[in-house]
Chain A
Amino acid sequence: MIEITSGRYRCCDGMTRRSALKAGVLAFGGFGLADWMRLNAQAESAGRSLADMSVILIWQGGGPSHLDMWDLKPNAPSEFRGTFNPIPSNLPGLDVGEHMPRIARVCDKLTVLRSVTHPDSGHESATHFLLTGYPPTNDIPSNEVPSYGSIVGKELGAKQPGLPAYVAVPRAPRSSAAAYLGVEHNPFEALGDPGNEGFQVRNLAPPANVSIERLEHRRSLLGRIDTIRRDADASGTIRGMDTFAQKVFEMVTSPRVREAFDLSKEEPRMRDRYGRNTWGQSTLLARRLVEAGVRFVTVDMGGWDTHGNNFETLKNSHLPKFDLAFSALIDDLDQRGRLDNTLVLVWGEFGRTPRINPGAGRDHWPNVFSVVMAGGGIKRGVVLGSSDGHAEYPKDRPISPQDVLSTMYRQIGVDQEKSYVNEANRPVQILNLGRPIPEIV
């Protein structure tokens, strides 16, 4: 198998039989070396390097209300428009909800897609769709195909040895797993609550009395004892455990890893800026991680399923926290010169019903909703597509979730036409539908 990392070809060492079986095949007419070199040249001429690209996914599970955040309809009848007023952003022509005042000042760095649409209004199935790029074929889905975090992690690996390629902060939402790529490509969950004052990721340093040298001795002894047949387990769990054990040694012996997960290394002012709560500190941790070399970080910002009391919940809890965290992330990445090398994607599984229900809530609405992208070479200050008068359906330029993901893959140099072989030996493309959105790349 040939993997593309660090801007050059290298043969994959330590290849197991499983990885050989699952090795990707480049499709005819797919993304070849020439394409990759062209894309990298483009990126480099724009001051970016594909090898240095990371992704931060802010997952607003439950489904955030597009009408109250990115696509307000002040002229719609009251049963649609809600109680929030639009405020102007620093991007001419874009108004956002009044409870995102800080975000309003970074909109010139964002791309807002206002006409994303899909047909699935169920949480689990739509989550599967938007976290993998594939609608599930079974009615109770759990990662029939890999999450794109797993794919990006496998395709590109971590940017620095020792660090995991794919991390979820603090936990991984459903459908974030690796499916047939193997459990070793599941996300590393930081666990705990980064919003707590004394938060730290456990067990990253060796225990007292266990030196690195002693750890090496243990490791060599383990190699002689841990000899159970790996093929006894067709599910790949045993092999996955091997990979994790290997990773444990890499992580524990690397000071860089502990450093990356240590929020106390941040200035108090910076921590304040992101917001001293779970969402804010998780977002800050995501920035630290991609800076240290993690390839893909999912920030689990769930809880947007506002069937009841939509406006009070958004106004008093969700939007102030999101406003702080997201605006801080964009500014911070930009000030550090990392925004163009970090693609930020903000979405949930769908939007919410434009018509307000009797409980002052909004229900599930996938027919049109807004998605925000930033960084990673995505054009800055673009509002693409629009919804109709009540924000119910796309008015123009309908965009599929696969188009969004295709754009992401293109920007970070992953070939969506490459296939992996699933459990039944059938090749499945990384993404089978969707094209990069030309207006924003």
Chain B
Amino acid sequence: MTRQASRTLSTILVTFALATPSGVVSADTPRPVKLTVEPSQVTLRNADESTQLLATLELADGSLRDVTGKASFSISDPSVATIEGGLVIPTGDGTARVEVTLKAFDRAGDLKASTSVAVSHFQIDRPLNFTNDIVPVLTKFGCNAGGCHGKASGQNGFKLSLLGFDPVGDHDSLVKEGRGRRVFLAAPERSLLLTKPTGQTPHGGGRKFDTQSPAYKLLMRWLVQGAPFGKKDDPTVAQIQVSPSSPTMGRSERQQLRVIARYTDDSIKDVTREAEFKSQQPDILVVNGAGLVSTLEATGEGTVMVRYMGQVDVARVTVPFGQAPPESAYAHFQPKGFVDELVLKKWHKLGIAPSPVCSDEEFLRRASIDAIGTLPTPDEVRKFVAEPSPDKREHLVDQLLEHNEYASYWAIQWGDLLRNKRRYGDGYKRGTFAFAAWIRDAFVQNVPYDQFVRGILTAQGDVSDSPPVVWYREVRNVTHQVNDTSQLFLGMRIQCANCHHHPYEKWSQDDYWGFAAHFARLGQKQGAVANENAIFVRKDGGMNQPRTGRSMKPKPLGAPETEFVRGEDPRQSLVDWMTNPENPYFARAIVNRMWAHFLGLGLVEAVDDMRVTNPPTNPELLNALAKDFIAHKFDLKHLIRTIMNSRTYQLSSAPSPFNAKDRQNYARYFPRRLAAEVLSDAVDAATGSSERFGGFPAGTRAIDLPDEAINSYFLDVFGRSQRETACECERSKAPNLAQLLHLMNSPETQNKISNGRVERMIKEKLPDEEIARELFLWAFSRQPKADELDAVLGHVRSATNKKAAFEDVLWSLLSSKEFLFNH
């Protein structure tokens, strides 16, 4: 049975919550149809296992509600098991029935469901396994957390691996270190392992459990057994799965989660009691240690991260926005392709509806800024508005992608990400200039993205014949190479796994250093060009995992390891793996990055932090974009067309009552401030002047600049990237006071305003109205409205100095949000 998102569900749920807080059904809700309980059979194979039951109510409209917390559970034979909050805990061997009863009202009467319980081996003291039985206890109670014994330096001399990712080391630490005090086999109850967490010995971390708790009893049994590590071939956890995985809930509701672990021998076990739960949006929902999710008053989406034994999974919870919009709210939105269809599906699920489609002027301005970082000219505005063709927006997108500015604009953004930085002064600009030109040329040629990345990652030789070797100048050592490659091209930040298992991902230290092995044979030496290193590949060489000292073979993330082949560059096999159409990360990372550029927000945010525990807001859309991108041979212009030609991209930025509360589902265009270089050029365009950048010929625009070292207060204050990291976030679009001081009150702006277009038009003695219209077209890409024109002409007529008056007009345009923002 799938959980479907009924658009009426939200209303019902709110009604439930308000009208009958303790009840299940109220008069105006669909009829309850059926109560189900899962799993249909509970098998507990020893005294330590337990199983979480989920009781689910199906309503007549097909929607589902968790009633685990509201149903009552009774068991036919309490000597077999007891049930607490739906958790089945064994008490002895045998079989029994569990009756689940939901007290309902009026129409339905009581609803019932049942399941069976079989308990075996209850009395047998099975040999405990440190990894599978003890480490989860240490994790659940936070002993090995980063703030406690799990941090690199340990706590008060007792050190565990972070979250228990190194069971061998942890076993040594408990059993072999601490002079036999941590584990005292002669009198287990005097072991620090038991006396500290129960508070019998002073414990900085406080009292964690008492001597009657299951945790205490389990640890005690393990000590009595002699604190064994367990057999080497005992199965380990291969995967965990949380259910339900994407429930729709109302506000102030509850949902019990259930977690199943699958082991390397394919056996499965309920680990709800042992798993850790963490809400990633504590504003939308909270979750307790037993896996019970409670939504709060806010609507939207939230995720619960579940972690057990180094494996992670998430449950995505949707809390729809109030009343579902009427069908008419969607009437103007005619999907034009898979992007629109998938976005629309999501709107329906959440109960939001799109704003109207934007005007032609808005579209021209928006598309020009987003695609080529350049404002349209008044001629372009007039021509585009007058153009009768119904396909004119598609035509415009095609034209924009052939502009010179297209390559410049994308080159400067990739120059940031590829950290093309003149760190050590002018002696190094030959390298940055060459790399900048190489990047720009790739966009001129529309080099397929996979080839572009291969050109960078596998660069070797001298700057003079292979400019992308400059990438390795900032990305100098192997950890930089691993971190930048994964963050930039795979959308993943795996640097945590450099020193320990990634706490929010499945990546281990072995994964990190296996990935690093691809760069093991890279060498740098002084090249033929002064100050520039040449990159070469050694014939042999390897990579050791620093913690274990084990030598690592090249191993891409989540893929089988490969062999070092003498004379071969392992970077090639890495790029082969990355650019393979089956690669799960590569295409998704770039389509998400591009989507974020055009829509103002990534399907995964931050764009380079894609991980299981940070799921996309619209996974179907992300996958479809990636699939389409691969099918079109990594063609970036095709991807841009797909996005820009969607209706979704072309929506107005003005919120409607049906989407005002939403901030992440693209039901309207999200306005954003122009990027530093784009704004600098826009000021020049609007004022009819030209900024001179030191050492560059007149007419060089800010988006043409090859590196970050060109002196410009304007670009600094408006947040250009300093190219210190591969993070998209380094380019800041946050506003601040210094920006407005500069824009509104600097001699630089005033000079541009008074010595450019205004001066020329006054000299040409153009009529006042024409001057006003031109200024509006340059700054806002539209004609002035009647009241705006009145205001402007009124101001000019009342002034003694006409030129100064038009300077004031231009100043007001530049200081307006309509100019500063792409909207």
Contact = CB atoms under 8 A, between A and B. Distances in A.
A208 to B, nearest CB: 7
A218 B808 contact: yes
A228 B745 contact: no
A226 B281 contact: no
Most buried by A among B204, B606, B812: B812
B283 A225 contact: no
Contact of A188 (B148, B496, B660, B737): B737
A426 B296 contact: yes
B671 A426 contact: no
A224 interface: yes
A225 B809 CA distance: 9
Given A191-B738, A203-B741, A225-B791, A119 B147 contact: yes
Given A188-B738, A228-B817, A248-B745, A424 B653 contact: no
B821 interface: yes
Contacts of B284: 424
Contacts of B795: 217, 221
B780 to A, nearest CB: 9
Given A231-B660, A237-B673, A218 B812 contact: yes
A189 B735 CA distance: 12
Interface string A157-175: 0000000100000000000
A13 interface: no
Most buried by A among B717, B733, B737: B737
A217 B808 contact: yes
A77 interface: no
A34 interface: no
Given A232-B653, A426-B298, A119 B148 contact: yes
Contacts of B300: 424
Nearest to B717: A191
A426 B296 CA distance: 9
A248 B808 contact: no
A177 B734 CA distance: 10
A218 B807 CA distance: 9
B816 A226 contact: yes
B504 interface: yes
B252 to A, nearest CB: 13
B815 A222 contact: yes
A244 B742 CA distance: 11
Interface secondary structure of A, over-half rule: loop
Nearest to A353: B153
A231 B661 CA distance: 11
A251 interface: yes
A237 B671 CA distance: 9
Contacts of B668: 232
Contacts of A205: 745
Interface stretch (A106-114, A132-140, A319-327, A431-439): A132-140
Contacts of B733: 237
Nearest to B729: A142
B735 A207 contact: no
B13 interface: no
Contact of B281 (A237, A247, A393, A424): A424
Contact of B741 (A177, A202, A224, A365): A202
Contacts of B152: 121
A245 interface: yes
Interface string A343-381: 000000000010000000000010000000000000000
Contacts of A152: none
A77 to B, nearest CB: 16
A232 B823 contact: yes
Nearest to B733: A237
B808 A214 contact: yes
A245 B815 contact: yes
B736 A221 contact: no
B759 to A, nearest CB: 13
B671 A232 contact: yes
Contact of A237 (B672, B809, B812): B672
Contact of B298 (A191, A217, A237, A424): A424
Contacts of A222: 811-812, 815-816
B818 interface: yes
B740 interface: yes
B821 A140 contact: no
Interface stretch (B207-215, B258-266, B746-754): B746-754
Contact of A218 (B148, B204, B503, B811): B811
Contacts of B297: 425-426
A422 B609 CA distance: 23
A207 B750 contact: yes
A224 B787 contact: yes
Contact of B820 (A204, A241, A251, A426): A241
A202 B795 CA distance: 29
Interface string B472-507: 000000000000000000000100100000011000
A205 B147 CA distance: 50
Interface in B196-233: 204
Contact of B735 (A202, A206, A240, A251): A240
Contacts of A242: 817
Interface in A89-124: 119-121
B115 interface: no
B817 A248 contact: no
Interface in B645-683: 653-655, 660, 663, 668, 670-673
B651 to A, nearest CB: 11
A241 B735 contact: yes
Contacts of B663: 234-235, 423
Interface in B150-166: 151-153, 156
Nearest to A425: B298
Contacts of A424: 281, 283-284, 296, 298, 300
A214 B153 contact: no
A121 B503 CA distance: 15
Interface in B734-773: 734-742, 744-747, 749-751, 754
A228 B815 CA distance: 12
A335 interface: no
Interface string B774-789: 0000000000000110
B409 to A, nearest CB: 22
Given A121-B152, A237-B673, A422-B283, A209 B750 contact: yes
29 contacts: A119-B148, A120-B147, A121-B153, A140-B493, A140-B609, A183-B735, A189-B736, A191-B716, A191-B738, A202-B713, A202-B741, A209-B750, A217-B795, A218-B811, A221-B791, A221-B792, A221-B809, A226-B816, A228-B817, A229-B653, A233-B670, A233-B821, A234-B660, A237-B672, A237-B733, A241-B735, A248-B740, A252-B741, A424-B284
Interface pairs A-B: 3 shortest CB-CB = A424-B283, A119-B147, A207-B750
Given A209-B754, A424-B281, 4 more contacts: A203-B745, A218-B808, A393-B156, A393-B204
